[in-house]
Chain A
Amino acid sequence: MSTLAPSAPDDFTQARPLRSRLMPYALLAPAVLVTLFIVFFPMFQAVVTSFYDVILWKPNANRFVGFGNYVKLLRDPVFWTSLGHTAIWIGLTVPLQMGLGLVTALLLNREFPWRGLARALVIIPWALPSVVIALMWRWIYDPTTGVLNDILLYLSIIHSTVPWLADPHLALYAVIATLTWQGFPFFAVMILAGLQGIPQSQYEAASIDGASPWRQFVHITLPGIAPVLATAGLLRIIWVANSMDVIFVMTGGGPGYATHTLPLYAFIKARQNLDFGYGTAIAVTFTLLLGAIVAVYIVRTLREVER
């Protein structure tokens, strides 16, 4: 957010009376206090809880187990399965969203009469509630009455109905397809804004020099939108890694453990077994793993604020 940039330091700060030096802190206090109370305090609680054996319906049985939950985690095959799924989940969803978003942005950047309408319509998946998206796609994927099977049968791509969400080998990919659909408008919109920042004169110069459209794309367009791709990509990795509402409503993690990702596993452990100690240990581990990616994003953004 480079609009923060005019960083003319407040030269008078030192000379001002105490009252006006405290002013920024007073102005910040409400926001900081509320976040301390609803975010940092619970987060601290979470870390503490992860060292205890806490089953919610047995409040008297709480006991300190140290790293017990974490040791249990390393030996838990479902943890490793979920970790693998999380990697596939991020590794497929983000590039697919980005690819589809790039194609959409390039198309919407062209001149055509109904461009405004097209731009408005394409963001609809972004505006819909996750729970509606998940139920909608369950209906589309439905093995007996779903429209997807109807279409594919009609086109003779498949010869018998496919139980998309009930087949352990397909379910994860079916959910990934849904999430790709939900997320590509975000990329399209971001990339479109980036495309509009590339000066038209560069393309004119290139075509005078005889560069083909493909070479123009590789040498002008891609470098021009590279920063946007990086920022939007990082943001989406974090967002996709965290998002579990769509999977939760579509499959609930099943069949079996076929669509468990780490945050979903933590949530299910805590929600169904009320095993809060182990659930939070999974959540904390997941947060630490995600932290590496978050760190990259934060370093990038703060560098921007500095400028």
Chain B
Amino acid sequence: MNKPSTLRRILTTDIPVVLIILLAIGPFVWMILTSLTPTAQLSASGVSLSPSGWSIDNYARLLRQTSFLHNMLDSLIIAGGTVVLGLVVSVTAAYALSRFRFAGRKLIMLQFLLVNMFPIVLLILPLFVLMRKIGILDTHIGLILANSTVAIPFAVWMLTSYVGAIPRSLDEAAMIDGCSRLQALRRIVLPLAMPGIISTGIYIFITAWNEYLYALTLGGRNVRPVTVAIQTLIGEYQIEWGLLAAGGVVGALPATLLFLLVQRRLIGGLTQGAVKG
């Protein structure tokens, strides 16, 4: 590439992209800087921009004074449980929807699509009453079920699309060779759909980890996921921004790292439907 066009590219592409990236990550970077600035300094001279003023004081206090590790464990159990429940019931459903044509197929697909759109506020109140009645309020299983209201319909749609992309001739060949339907599903379709299943699972994990309103309403005392715990770091009289920022960074890290790790494949799956639509 010759010189003038490189300069032109920097002016018309690189600089605007840098500005957009700054907009996108600026606030989070600001929070990281806040979390690295000790509280005393934060109120005296503001956020420290140079590494000389940084310390891990806020993180140390987060681990010492709060039950943050325990909250992370709660989040992990809930998000992991949602992934397992969501995937287990959705894999077979997706197989049925993509491989069979049967009465009521369209209705069932419509149902899963519809469920995806329901306002959470409509479900949260009756779920609260229901869970109180059967005594699973403020338990892991309660929050796993609540998160599944979002996870299952999403997983069914994603997986139907992934399984549909696997040629039928493969499982038909397996069945001619003597496999039953279920064996064909287990031995042929499952391994081939594994990348799709994994990225669907990771997306469910991220969504469940980041979920806040269910966690606040249906949990909160015995079971307190990270998102609720962060909110409670706000003191009664004065907000301790340093501690809060440290909690925010730690709480956001698992989902963000996962997202960055699988973003290419995940976005491929998520956009597939919309792009062809």
**Which of chain A's residues has its CB closest to B185's CB?**
A27
User: Quick check: is A112 within 8 A (CB to CB) of the other chain?
Assistant: yes
Could you tell me the distance in whole angstroms from the C-beta of A57 to the nearest C-beta in chain B? 12
The verdict on A130 contacting B210 (CB below 8 Å), with A46-B122, A283-B119, A304-B277 known, is yes
Most buried by A among B95, B115, B122, B152: B122
User: Which of B50-58, B60-68, B153-161 lies at the interface?
Assistant: B153-161
B16 adjacent to A301 (CB under 8 Å):
no
Complexed CA–CA distance, A183 and B156 (Å): 24
User: Quick check: is B73 within 8 A (CB to CB) of the other chain?
Assistant: no
Query: Which residues of B are found within 8 Å of A65, using beta-carbon distances?
Result: none
Complexed CA–CA distance, A10 and B275 (Å): 28
The verdict on A266 contacting B121 (CB below 8 Å), with A39-B115, A139-B31, A244-B213 known, is yes
Query: Which residues of A are found within 8 Å of B255, using beta-carbon distances?
Result: 127-129
The verdict on A23 contacting B96 (CB below 8 Å), with A124-B25, A127-B206 known, is yes
User: Quick check: is B186 within 8 A (CB to CB) of the other chain?
Assistant: no
B30 adjacent to A42 (CB under 8 Å):
no
**Which of chain A's residues has its CB closest to B88's CB?**
A30
Size class of the contact patch on chain B? 35 or more
The verdict on A32 contacting B92 (CB below 8 Å), with A9-B101, A120-B263 known, is no
User: Quick check: is B46 within 8 A (CB to CB) of the other chain?
Assistant: yes
**Which of chain A's residues has its CB closest to B157's CB?**
A1
The verdict on A35 contacting B115 (CB below 8 Å), with A129-B251, A135-B230, A280-B122 known, is yes
A245 adjacent to B125 (CB under 8 Å):
no
User: Quick check: is A232 within 8 A (CB to CB) of the other chain?
Assistant: yes
B148 adjacent to A34 (CB under 8 Å):
yes
A30 adjacent to B93 (CB under 8 Å):
yes
Query: Which residues of B are found within 8 Å of A124, using beta-carbon distances?
Result: 24-25, 28, 256, 259-260
Query: Which residues of B are found within 8 Å of A135, using beta-carbon distances?
Result: 230-231, 234, 244, 248
User: Quick check: is B192 within 8 A (CB to CB) of the other chain?
Assistant: no
Could you tell me the distance in whole angstroms from the C-beta of B150 to the nearest C-beta in chain A? 10
Complexed CA–CA distance, A276 and B231 (Å): 24
Complexed CA–CA distance, A128 and B29 (Å): 12
Size class of the contact patch on chain A? 35 or more
Complexed CA–CA distance, A294 and B9 (Å): 42
User: Quick check: is B199 within 8 A (CB to CB) of the other chain?
Assistant: no
Query: Which residues of A are found within 8 Å of B256, using beta-carbon distances?
Result: 124, 127-128
Interface string of A68-106 (1 = CB under 8 A from B): 000000000000000000000000000000000001100
User: Quick check: is B273 within 8 A (CB to CB) of the other chain?
Assistant: yes
Query: Which residues of B are found within 8 Å of A132, using beta-carbon distances?
Result: 31, 227, 230, 248, 251-252
**Which of chain B's residues has its CB closest to A195's CB?**
B275
Could you tell me the distance in whole angstroms from the C-beta of A191 to the nearest C-beta in chain B? 9
Query: Which residues of A are found within 8 Å of B149, using beta-carbon distances?
Result: 35, 38-39
Query: Which residues of B are found within 8 Å of A23, using beta-carbon distances?
Result: 96, 100, 181
User: Quick check: is B222 within 8 A (CB to CB) of the other chain?
Assistant: no
User: Quick check: is B47 within 8 A (CB to CB) of the other chain?
Assistant: yes
Other-chain residue from B120, B129, B245, B260 in contact with A242 (beta carbon distance below 8 A):
B120
User: Which of A153-161, A163-171, A201-209, A284-292 lies at the interface?
Assistant: A284-292
Complexed CA–CA distance, A113 and B44 (Å): 42
Most buried by A among B9, B112, B123, B168: B123
Most buried by B among A5, A6, A267: A267
B residues whose Cβ falls under 8 Å from a Cβ of A? 9, 13-14, 16-17, 20-21, 23-25, 27-28, 30-31, 34, 42-43, 46-47, 85, 88-90, 92-93, 95-102, 105-106, 108-115, 117-127, 129-130, 145-146, 148-149, 152-153, 156-157, 160-162, 164-165, 168, 181, 206, 209-210, 212-213, 217, 226-228, 230-231, 234, 241, 244-245, 248, 251-252, 255-256, 258-260, 263, 267, 270-277
- Can you show 26 pairs from A to B with CB atoms below 8 A apart? A4-B97, A10-B100, A38-B145, A40-B115, A42-B130, A103-B20, A122-B21, A124-B28, A125-B24, A130-B210, A131-B251, A133-B27, A135-B244, A136-B30, A139-B30, A139-B34, A139-B241, A190-B274, A193-B274, A232-B274, A245-B212, A248-B213, A267-B213, A283-B119, A298-B113, A301-B277
Q: A1-B160, A283-B122, A301-B277 are in contact. List 8 more A-B contacts (CB 8 A).
A: A27-B93, A39-B149, A107-B13, A124-B260, A128-B210, A185-B24, A264-B121, A286-B122
